[in-house]
Amino acid sequence: MSGLLPSIESFAKGAFATTAGLGTVCFSLLFFGQNFLIYLPAYPPGSRTAVASPGDHGLPYQDVELRTSDNIKLRCYMFVQRKDISQLGALDVESSEDETEEQFSSRRPTVMMFHGNGGNIGHRIALAKIFYVKMRCNVFMLSYRGYGLSEGSPSEKGIQLDAQCALDYIQNHPSLAGSPIVLYGQSIGGAVSIDLTSRNPHAVRALILENTFLSLPRLVPNAFPILGPVSFLCHQKWDSASKISLIPPTTPILMLSGLQDEVVPPEHMRSLWELVQARTGGPSRSESSGGKTVHQVPSASRYAQFVEFEHGAHNDTCVQPDYWTTIDKFIKSLDGSRSASPVSPTSSSSESS
C-alpha cells in the first residue's frame, strides 16, 4: 500500500499540471487570440488579395474609399439608383420627367450591407444585385477594416468605427442624404447593425437581421466548446441582447433565422425576438406554411417580424424559398419604398458568424 501512494501522488501532480497547462492554453487562446478566432478575413484563402468587382456582374458601381476617425482606409462598393436601369432587367419605378437622378435616388431606400466574419464584400455581390436590380434600392457594401482591400485589423471597437464612418458618409452624400436607410446584417453583421442603430436611433429607418446572436460570450460555448468554461474572458462582446432594447419600438425589424444553423444556435434568434417583442410592447401571432414559420407583432406602428426557415443553415438561409420575397414585402412596407419587380432566390458564397 505504501508503494502505491507515491504513484497516486505523482499521478495527481501530473493531472494537476496537465489541467493547469490546458487552462493556460485556453486562457491564452481566448484572451489574446480571440480576434483570430472570431474574425476570419483571410478565409477562404485569397480573400485578402482578391475581391470580385460588381463590374464582373454587369453592375454599375462606385469604388468608395473611406477614412475612419482613427485614420484607417476602407475600400467599399456603392450602387446608386438611376431612373432607368432597364438594361439590367429592372422594371421602371414611377418618376416624373422633371425629377433629377439625384432626387430619384434620394427617395429610394439605401441598404447598408454588413456581412459575416469570413470572406469579403466581393463574395456578397449577388445579394447586393437583388437589392439593386429587383428592389431598386441604393446599396452600400461596407468592407470592414482588415477585410478585403481595407487597411487595419478587425476588432469590435474598430468595426464600430467603420460602421459609423459609413453611416456618416451616406447621410452626407448629395444623392443619398434623404434616403431611408435600411441595415442588412448577416451573422456578426447583425450585431454590427444592432450596435450602429442603438447609437444612431433616428438615422436608421429599418433593420433586417439574419442568423445573428445574443452576444459573443454567450456564443462561445457553442462555437468553441473547449473554451466554454472561460467564455467570461471574451472581450469582443457584440452584446446585441442589451443594445436591441435601445432601438426605438417604431423602428421596423425583420428577423430571418435558419433552423438548421450549425454556427449560431436558433435559440439566440428566438431570444432576440423575445426582446424585440418586449420592445414593441405586445405579443406576436404565428403562422406556418411552406417550410417557414412567421411570427409578427400585429401593430402597424410598431412593425416587427420573425421568420424561421425550416431547412436554412447558417450560410444558405438566403437561398431558402420565400427568403427574398419576405424581404421584398418588408422593403415595400417602408415609406416611399415600393419594389418594382418580383424577386427570386440566388446563390451565395459561404460566410460564417
Q: Across the chain, what does the average pLDDT equal?
A: 87
Overall average pLDDT of the 230-238 stretch: 78
Read off the pLDDT band of 280 (50, 70, 90).
Answer: confident
Which 8-state DSSP code applies to residue 98? T
Whether 233 has a pLDDT exceeding 80, the answer reads no
**Taking the alpha carbons of 293, 298, 303, 304 in that order, is the dihedral positive or negative?**
negative
User: Hey, where are the domains in the chain?
Assistant: 33-333
Contacts of 159 (CB under 8 A, 6+ apart): 144, 145, 192
Whether 150 has a pLDDT exceeding 90, the answer reads yes
pLDDT single digits (tens) 92-121? 999 999 999 999 999 999 999 999 999 999
Whether 300 has a pLDDT exceeding 90, the answer reads no
The pLDDT value given to residue 228? 55
Overall average pLDDT of the 203-207 stretch: 97
Whether 134 has a pLDDT exceeding 50, the answer reads yes
Cell numbers at residue 71, please? 485614420
Whether 279 has a pLDDT exceeding 90, the answer reads no
Overall average pLDDT of the 280-290 stretch: 84
Q: Lowest-pLDDT range, 2-11, 154-163, 245-254? A: 2-11
Q: How far is CA 212 from CA 151, 256, 315, in A?
A: 25, 9, 12
The pLDDT value given to residue 14? 43
The pLDDT value given to residue 347? 45
The pLDDT value given to residue 169? 98
The pLDDT value given to residue 349? 46
Determine how β-strand 292-297 pairs with β-strand 304-309: antiparallel
pLDDT single digits (tens) 3-56? 544 554 443 444 444 344 444 445 555 555 788 889 999 999 999 999 999 999
The pLDDT value given to residue 203? 97
Upstream peptide bond of 44 is cis (omega within 30 degrees of 0): yes
The pLDDT value given to residue 330? 96
Looking at per-residue confidence, does 74 or 31 come out higher?
74
Q: Around 101, how many Cα atoms within 13 Å sit in the side-chain half-sphere?
A: 6
What strand order describes the sheet that includes 292-297? 62-67, 73-79, 138-141, 110-114, 181-186, 206-210, 253-258, 304-309, 292-297, 285-289
Cell numbers at residue 217, please? 460570450
d(CA 137, CA 157): 29
The pLDDT value given to residue 227? 54
Looking at per-residue confidence, does 302 or 143 come out higher?
143
Bridge partner residues of 140 (DSSP): 78, 112
Whether 209 has a pLDDT exceeding 70, the answer reads yes
d(CA 209, CA 184): 6
Share of the chain above pLDDT 70, in %: 82
Topology of the domain comprising 33-333? Rossmann fold (3.40.50)
The pLDDT value given to residue 232? 65
Read off the pLDDT band of 317 (50, 70, 90).
Answer: very high
